[in-house]
Each structure stands twice: as structure tokens, then as C-alpha cells.
Amino acid sequence: MLHGTIKAWPHLSAYEEDPTHWIQFDGITGLSVDGGDIGTFNGNGKKWWKKSCKVNKTLPCTDAPTAVTFYECNNLTVKNLRFRNSQKMHMNIQKCLNVTLSNLNVRAPEDSPNTDGIHVTETQNILITDSTIGTGDDCISIESGSKNVRITDITCGPGHGISIGSLGDNNSKAEVSNVVVNRAKLRGTTNGVRIKTWQGGSGYARNIEFMNIEVKNVSNPIIIDQNYCDQEEPCREQESAVEVSNLIYQNIRGTSASEVAIRFDCSKTVPCRDVFVKDVTLEAEGDGHTTASCDNVIYVNRGNLSPRCSSR
């Protein structure tokens, strides 16, 4: 039980021995962490944000601590906690099995760099539910090695939305499968539901469902980006790609802050396939209209779809 607030030490020199972690739970089976609705991890991140190369491009890019990491923890429960102003990511679930995260409240300013809410990597059988997340990066990010991920009843914003990836960076092999996002509300985020992969990677992201999602003033409400490139110099074109397949987008409604509300930017050599779209209606926030951009994707439409793809 966590009663009250644990606040990070403000002096950056305290992290010289391990600049990537603040608090870590390592190799524990049957762990339960309960905040009783008041327990708070406060990363005290402002000093770290000022040193970020994403905030000040004249600075070199350096590591910052993830606030709370659960590493190789099986049968893990984390509930009724608040996370505030992490130095970098708020919570990392890594190499865990059988995890339940519920009733979490995660907050950091919209301009805080790399402050993902919940980061899931190499983890199987995880439920994330009944939580509110607003940060400067992804509300929830799902990385390679993750399987059987269920996300329900999430409110997200501000932030970069709910993301699978990025996958396949540095020509790596990535595997993500059996992901369900159901009953999410996204408000003012820079993306809605997103899959992002680098050229040159391999492996797959498959069996993924996005269902019953409300968006309000969201840029890129639905996006697949198989040409993701998060670096200053342009990424060179490569033939290899992480295969994206067996996707369902169902009952997704609301308003887009950008004209292109649906963007399927898939690989020329490894197109997105078996993409099922049903009852999706995305209108413009305010005046204007929305469009869909669909490149190298094989999709099936059932029921209402607005806007419609102009190419396949």
C-alpha cells in the first residue's frame, strides 16, 4: 500500500549510477501495488524536461529515468494510483506475465518530452482498464514481444494517443499480436489509434482490434504508418518491413483536427492486409471536411465509412 506521495529527489546527480530508472520492482511474483486513490508517484520531472534535446535542440540527447518499472514480475496487480510529472516514461511493464492495471491516473504537461503514460514491452496477458492518462507522449504504447493485450475504458488526452510501436527500428525483428482496444475516449491528442513501424524491420503486428472509440478534436484519429521516421535526417527507403495484418476498426466516431482523418500509409513491398473497417464516421472539428489517404492497403468495408478511402 502506498499512502501519500513518493517524490523524486530533485538533484540530477543522484541518478549518475543508473540514469534510466527511478523506482524498479524486479523479478517479483504475486506483487500487488495499491494506492487507495491517494497514493502518488511524483517524478518531479521539470529539470529533466529542460535538458531534453526535444525541448532544446542545441543539447545532446541523453537518457532520463523512467519513473516506475516492473521487470519480470508475474501475476502483477497495480491499482488506485496516481502518477505525476515523470522524468521520462511514467510506467514501464517489461517482460511480465499476467498483469492487471486499473484505476490509474497519469498526468504530465502536454509539452513534456517522452512522458509516455504506460509503456508495455515483451509482456503477455495484460489488462489495462478504467484509467485516465494525459501526458506529452503516448498515453499507452505497446512494443515488441507483447501478446494478449486488452485495453478497456481509457480516457486519453493530451498526448499522442494509443500506439502500437514504434516497431522494427534499426532493422530489428518485432512481434506484437492479439491486442484489443475497447471503449476509449481520446480528447485533443495528436493521434488517435496508431500503428507505427520503421522501414527495414521484420516480423509482424497482427490480430489487432480497435472498437467503440470516441475521438474529439484529434489529429490523425486512425493511422497506420509503415514509413515511420523519428530522426532528423531522412530515412532511406528499404524493402523489408514489419507485416501489418488482421486489423479491425469498428464503431469509431467523432471529430478530427486534421483534414486527413484516416491515413493508411503502408509499405509498397509489404502492404497492410486483411484490414476490416466497420461503422467509422469521422467529421471535421469545426468547419471543413475530412478525407482518407489509403496507400498499399487491402481493406474491407462494412457499414458506414466516412471519409472513404480514395485508393487501395
The residues that are catalytic are: 137, 160
- Which among 171, 174, 184 is positioned nearest to 140, based on CA atoms? 184
Are the C-beta atoms of 51 and 15 separated by less than 8 Å?
A: no
β-pair partners for 273? 245
Q: How many residues does the chain have?
A: 312
User: Measuring CA to CA, how many Å separate 264 from each of 45, 221, 236, 268?
Assistant: 35, 11, 20, 12
Task: Identify the DSSP state of 86.
Answer: -
Show the cell assigned to 223: 493511422
CA atoms of 18 and 41, how far apart (whole Å): 18
Q: Which phi-psi region, left, alpha or beta, contains residue 72 (left: φ > 0; alpha: ψ -120 to 50)?
A: left
**How many angstroms separate the CA atoms of 134 and 269, rounded?**
36
Phi and psi at residue 225, to the nearest 5°: -125, 95
First and final CA of the chain: distance in angstroms?
53
DSSP letters spanning 247-305: EEEEEEEEEESSSEEEEEE--SSS-EEEEEEEEEEEEESSSS--EEEEESEEEEEEEEE
Q: What CA–CA distance (Å, rounded) separates 260 from 270?
A: 23
Q: 42 in helix, strand or coil? A: strand
